[in-house]
Structure 1
Amino acid sequence: MTTSTARFRSWYRPMRGRRPDEPHRTATPLELFFDLCFVVAVAQASNSLHHDLAENHLGHALVSYLTVFFAIWWAWMNFTWFASAYDTDDDVYRVTTLVQIAGALILAAGVPRAFTDADFTTITYGYVVMRLGTIVNWLRAAAANPDRRDTAIAYAVGVGVVQLGWLLRLALPDGWGMPAFLVLALADVLVPVVAEQRGKTGWHPHHIAERYQLFTLIVLGEAILSISVAIQGGVDAGNPELWGLAAAGMVIVFALWWLYFDRPGQLPPSRLRGSLFWGYGHYLIFAAIAAVGAGLAVAVDHDLHAAHVSGRTAGYTVAVPVAVFLVALWALHLRWKRGLGLVLFPIASVLALVTPWLPAPVPALAALLFILVAVTLVLRHRQATDVPG
């Protein structure tokens, strides 16, 4: 091999599919850097949700948060699954990934205006920049993989058409914005469904599971930040009640971490329908965890008399996302359990929605999650020590 050939191969390699059974496949430094930049977008969404909820703009908060978080989650998810199948780590791939990171930062910068003014212009531009990088990568994959060329071209064409739709949406009258968003979001999530019918992409199950675990840690970090704010508020205001709230919030976040990572070996199903359900269903888990952080911040504002909501409403800002998390986690990871394990999480989600009616909603929710973790530990221990007779 000549020196010029070696240099060319380090700059550009054919984007051939990686083996789905490749040993020791872990997240790369580039993927971790990509995730780090998404911290900004998640923080912007959580912070904007917190302020909307504290001002009692509940309907606006819910719609704005779910739409903004969709853009964040969908952009992250598409990069993650593509990288699992085709990451070549050559210079061209690194450049296209950095372009996508730039799009993520543009998207994050547009989050506040999307909440306050329903202006999705900046978010749309950032989202389209990210997806242009995705189109380039799919075209590279089509050129280097004849056996999966139809799949890659379907992705490239589908993504490109939908991005044109997002840009045209900006020219629509204000009243058409939300219906157009729903249509385009549905079109976006259908692109993988249609493309994968032409041939399954060879993603790595252990790598995907690790990437989802890492993003779970990112959104948990937003909740940890809210606890830190609660402690700071207790120190600054001399309010001892905030110390108890901070302790309860810490138990809630620790419990969410424990419940999600109780079975770290959970892998996405290999069949298309199961993998899509698993991958798409995590939208609820990610959005719910980040919303828990916003809810804890609202609870702090309420105790400081800085929020325009009742104590019960403040309790629901934490209880509702916790209930969504429990149901989503059960649907994705725990439906196969039998006996008490089958109904434990749905029952806990219902009880979580009752806690705002109690005198101390957040501590009551923390106690409920503590009990849930304890019961799951007992059940797991019994399952491990149960020897068939």
Structure 2
Amino acid sequence: MTTNRVANLLRKGESPQRPIFLELFFDLVYVFALTRVVNELVLDYTRGRVAETLTTSLSENGETLLLFLAIWWIWTQTAWMTSRFDPFQPAIQFVVLATMFGSLLLAVAISGALSETGLLFASTYAAIQVGRTLFFVLTMRGHDLRRVNMLALVWFGASAVPWLAGAFAPELTRNLLWLLALAIDYLGGTLGWPVPRLGRSQVSPWAVAGEYLAERYWLLIIVALGETILTAGTAFLHGPIVAERTLALVLLFVTTVLLWRIYFYRAGQILGEAIAASADPGRLGRSAELSHLLMALGIVATSAGSELVLIDPSGHAKPAWVAAMLGGPALYLAGRSVFEHVAFARVSRPRPIGILVLAAIAPVMVGLPPLGVAAAAAAVLLGVAVSDAIRAHGGPLEQASPPR
């Protein structure tokens, strides 16, 4: 490929540094993917031995978490890619749409990835990562990004081995091999894909396109919140429309609104500014990624808890159910605390206080009606949101002040 054609694939400095319709279209498949993850969690929580024993529940959830981390890494790598390349170019559109189709296959395979569809899941994941990276190795000749993709290709090739081997292995061995594969992928991306004698990538995507990536991540949070509403509405229609279930639906909608409010005020609005003002945007960007991973996990767990409430709002909350209904909001607040530190180099006290309150009330919630447990979680989130509003009332909007 000629130098001019290579340059045409890259984003131009004068072009808008924000997502366009292609990226938004790509995100649609993740509504389905997150729904499949939530469905797996609900199946975990409604199995008798899992629901009654928290330690067993954590083991089952760990397997589902492994699948979630795989699709999360695909999304992250795609966001990194579109931050550097021009999504209006047909070649880039092809790569994004091919990744979108692969992500759809991953989502389809989630429900049986730990049994009969394991090979489909593992081979699709490896094909996306290796195939996409190889494409850029072949097309970016003469550009520095070719070297970066060559480094990444070594790591993705290495992780493909345990991914594929795990698909043919017994359950415990498979989980260990897939955990190793994920560790290789995440470690490689975090370290800049170092390879002996070839070095590593020195430039973080956040240093090049912090504003763009900030907007991609808050769009993903919107996708996750949208999935929560979709799950609640679908679960509501699968049962009788009675007063208790209607009240549960209202409560779950309010909970989703509170999660949205807590995210966007105020750090969610100024992440791009914080990255731009940072002396080390790469390090701050990694913290931002971690915070959004924790928040997305919290939203997914909350969504699973919402469906459990709608299944039996007046029954008896089992230990694993309480863990989902209270642990989801707690995990979300933990991620939001990290996010606040990214934007303001501090953490407001209501967030850790909210986490402690959720942890403190969890033991006494076991056996109570799930509707009451959900109400308690919503009350804690409301307290955090109200404290934010009180602190901000009458004062100027707080500006980004990232850690030095």
TM bucket, shorter chain:
0.7 to 0.9
1:320 matched to which residue of 2? 327
Cα drift, residue 211 of structure 1: 0.8
Q: 1:165 to 1:89 in 2, by over 3 A?
A: farther
Aligned counterpart for 1:55 among listed residues 43, 47, 53:
47
Cα drift, residue 275 of structure 1: 1.7
2:283 matched to which residue of 1? 273
1:18 partner amino acid = R
8 Å contact from structure 2 (residues 162, 180) kept in 1: no
Aligned counterpart for 1:241 among listed residues 236, 241, 244:
244
1:367 matched to which residue of 2? 379
1:73 matched to which residue of 2? 72
RMSD: 2.9
Moved more, 66-75 or 91-100: 91-100
Q: Deviations over 1:85-128 (max 9, x none)?
A: 1235322222222221221111111111135x385222112212
What pairs up with 1:183-262 in 2 under 5 angstroms?
Answer: 183-195=180-192, 197-202=200-205, 203-229=208-234, 231-232=236-237, 236-262=239-265
Task: Tell me how far apart the structure 2 counterparts of residues 354 and 226 of structure 1 sit (CA, whole Å).
Answer: 28
Q: Secondary structure at the match of 2:332?
A: helix
Q: 1:280 to 1:120 in 2, by over 3 A?
A: farther
8 Å contact from structure 1 (residues 225, 293) kept in 2: no
1:111 partner amino acid = I
Cα drift, residue 178 of structure 1: 2.0
8 Å contact from structure 2 (residues 224, 296) kept in 1: yes
**Equivalent residue pairs, number:** 369
1:345 aligns with 2:351: yes
Aligned counterpart for 2:307 among listed residues 285, 290, 297:
297
Q: Secondary structure at the match of 1:143?
A: coil
Relative to the length of structure 1, the TM-score reads 0.84
Task: Tell me how far apart the structure 1 counterparts of residues 16 and 343 of structure 2 sit (CA, whole Å).
Answer: 28
Task: Tell me how far apart the structure 2 counterparts of residues 17 and 112 of structure 1 sit (CA, whole Å).
Answer: 37
Q: 1:296 to 1:103 in 2, by over 3 A?
A: same
8 Å contact from structure 2 (residues 301, 325) kept in 1: yes
Q: 1:140 to 1:31 in 2, by over 3 A?
A: farther
2:379 partner amino acid = A
1:332 partner amino acid = F
8 Å contact from structure 1 (residues 355, 365) kept in 2: no
Relative to the length of structure 2, the TM-score reads 0.82
1:151 aligns with 2:148: yes
1:5 matched to which residue of 2? none
Task: Tell me how far apart the structure 2 counterparts of residues 385 and 166 of structure 1 sit (CA, whole Å).
Answer: 47
2:53 matched to which residue of 1? none
Q: Secondary structure at the match of 2:17?
A: coil
Q: Deviations over 1:359-383 (max 9, x none)?
A: 5211121122112101101112255
What pairs up with 1:4-43 in 2 under 5 angstroms?
Answer: 13-14=6-7, 17-18=10-11, 22=14, 24-43=16-35
Aligned counterpart for 2:293 among listed residues 283, 293, 302:
283
What pairs up with 1:137-148 in 2 under 5 angstroms?
Answer: 137-140=135-138, 142-146=140-144, 148=145
Cα drift, residue 142 of structure 1: 4.2
Cα drift, residue 199 of structure 1: 2.3
Cα drift, residue 316 of structure 1: 2.8
1:3 matched to which residue of 2? none
1:332 matched to which residue of 2? 339
Task: Tell me how far apart the structure 2 counterparts of residues 67 and 136 of structure 1 sit (CA, whole Å).
Answer: 25
